[in-house]
Structure 1
Amino acid sequence: MNLSDPKDLASLLEAFLLASGKPMSIERMAELFDEIERPTPSLLRKALEVLDKSCKGRAFELKEVASGYRLQVRERFSPWVGRLWEERPQRYSRALLETLVLIAYRQPITRGEIEDIRGVAVNSQIVKTLLEREWVRVVGHRDVPGRPAMFATTKQFLDHFNLKNLDELPPLAVLREMEPEPQPLDVEEAPVPAALQARADLEAAPEAPREQTSFRSLLAELDSMETGLKTDFDDLRAEAEPDEGQSAPEEDRRDY
């Protein structure tokens, strides 16, 4: 094998990605070569471009996400591929998904600020679930009485929703304004439509290459539930955001 030839190198990188079962960065790929034969980062990128072109017309694609590159099944095949796993997928409530969306768009944000926007209390189990799934993390504490924890999203969140960075989040204009309405006490556990649930849980067997959930699809599903989020948070910033020097460092806002 000629490792200086992008075509030969592309085949080897395809093998790496298929075997890894998770995203791989350029740096990680380079570590798999002996120093004497190690391709340059530019050559690795050329090989990835060749690999990307070779996926045209096939059932899978090369996708770059926050943690690196991966091979995954194209989204249009997701409804059928999901049938490979017989386990009943974990259910996510509308309240959990709305909380996740607020953290994604307003990070860093405290639980109290989420409750102010949603108009209802955030169940402790919701925060626990998001932390356990490693979709959110605590990035600091607000410098106010009680020092509440501030939450932000993670690289795992970006990877799961097929995003390279937060700039790829869909515009908030796709959501209607949230208007809390009277609901039974168990509304927090209301089931999510089957189509959204199937997409949200396709990661159940990480060793298999497949399409990850689209965040735009998640937002569209929330919108179809007859509820949404504010499309303009400017009116909340004055009361919800901390004074200068109290928010999380800039890298915590954008790196994850």
Structure 2
Amino acid sequence: MVPPRLTLVSDNTREKKETPASGASSETRADAPPTALSDPEKVDAPEVQSRNREKLRRLEAMLFAASEPLDVKALLRGLDGDDDVNALLTELQAEYCDRGVNLVRVAGRWQFRTADDLSFLLERQQKDERKLSRAALETLAIVAYHQPVTRAEIEEIRGVSTSPGTLDVLMETGWIRPRGRRRAPGRPLTYGTTEEFLVHFGMDSIKDLPGLADLKASGLLDANLPPGFTVPSPTDVAALMPDELPLTDDGDEEEQEELALDEADEPETDGQTEAQAPDDSEK
């Protein structure tokens, strides 16, 4: 009996079987679209960031070159009409929050200013041409908190008479202005603060003035105040109040009153002349 022959099977067959599978997988990977390029949001993200960065650079340049605070309307001229300027300004403000220069909002407008904790580095010793007196400072505070207010009302609050020169000095600084005329005998002028006042003291609106608690904490008010003592809530309404008249109306009304008086006097004079005419003829 012939013994059976043994045959050896090579591993090449297994490699051949595995090779097509690997080839098929490579073809599959080659045919499959790349996931990174298939997402349009991921493709456009760098472009959107680049455009947004360009808008921030424009705002930064305009604010840096401006000699005075700029409002949103002025800043929009350097951008597209559909850009959200307030959102861009908020982002730019966040970028500068920890730098030597901060982006702040004053009087409803935007401006770069030195950081508050570094202001001592830019102080210059110079001779002031004019220093505000205590009377001027008190008058300025009364106008800021009680506006619109007349000179007589300022004197009533201070308890002493106010020199006309005190108001003139404050108007020369640009911190107060005549608003209108009070609907009262004599039609006295009413005074209020200006945007220059807000810019100089770094306030966005007149409502940022310190209240009663802040004044006590800073030591500007005595701790033992009389009962019922309050600090008025300041308002700075651009429109005239119901008890105010425009500045130009007063002069027009005076001219009309003078004309009315002249017209009222003329008939009386004519009447006397006519009545005297017969007497002259009789003589």
Interval of TM-score (by shorter of Structure 1 and Structure 2): 0.5 to 0.7
Determine the structure 1 residue equivalent to 2:243.
Answer: 246
Determine the structure 1 residue equivalent to 2:93.
Answer: 52
Contact 1:94 1:222 in 2 (8 A): no
Q: How does 1:146-165 map to 2 (within 5 A)?
A: 146-165=186-205
Cα distance change on mapping 1:175 and 1:41 into 2, 3 Å: farther
Determine the structure 2 residue equivalent to 1:232.
Answer: 230
Determine the structure 2 residue equivalent to 1:39.
Answer: 80
Query: Where do 4+ consecutive residues of structure 1 move more than 3 Å?
Result: 1-4, 85-90, 172-176, 220-224
Distance 2:214 2:193 in 1: 20
Contact 2:183 2:243 in 1 (8 A): yes
The number of residue pairs the alignment matches comes to 188
Name the TM-score, length of structure 2 as normaliser.
0.58
Distance 2:162 2:49 in 1: 54
Q: Alignment partner for residue 131 of structure 1, among 159, 171, 178?
A: 171
Distance 2:192 2:81 in 1: 34
Structure 2: gaps of 5 or more residues? 1-46, 223-227, 233-240, 247-283
Q: 1:101 Cα deviation (Å)?
A: 1.0
**Percentage of identical aligned residues:** 31
Cα distance change on mapping 1:9 and 1:98 into 2, 3 Å: same
Distance 1:42 1:8 in 2: 12
For the aligned residue pairs, the C-alpha RMSD in angstroms reads 3.2
Cα distance change on mapping 1:71 and 1:98 into 2, 3 Å: same
Contact 1:24 1:69 in 2 (8 A): yes
Q: How does 1:126-205 map to 2 (within 5 A)?
A: 126-175=166-215
Contact 1:115 1:122 in 2 (8 A): yes
Contact 1:3 1:9 in 2 (8 A): no
Quick check: 1:65 aligned with 2:106?
Answer: yes
Cα distance change on mapping 1:2 and 1:112 into 2, 3 Å: same
Cα distance change on mapping 1:221 and 1:130 into 2, 3 Å: farther
Q: Alignment partner for residue 11 of structure 1, among 47, 57, 66?
A: 57
- SS of 1:99's partner is helix
- SS of 1:146's partner is coil
- SS of 2:184's partner is coil
Determine the structure 2 residue equivalent to 1:26.
Answer: 72
Structure 1: gaps of 5 or more residues? 177-215, 225-229, 235-243, 250-256
Q: 1:246 Cα deviation (Å)?
A: 1.5
Cα distance change on mapping 1:4 and 1:28 into 2, 3 Å: farther
Which is bigger in relative contact order (C-alpha 8 A, separation at least 6)? Answer: 1
Q: 1:117 Cα deviation (Å)?
A: 0.9
Name the TM-score, length of structure 1 as normaliser.
0.63
Quick check: 1:104 aligned with 2:102?
Answer: no
Q: 1:20 Cα deviation (Å)?
A: 0.6
Q: 1:223 Cα deviation (Å)?
A: 4.9
Distance 2:129 2:213 in 1: 30
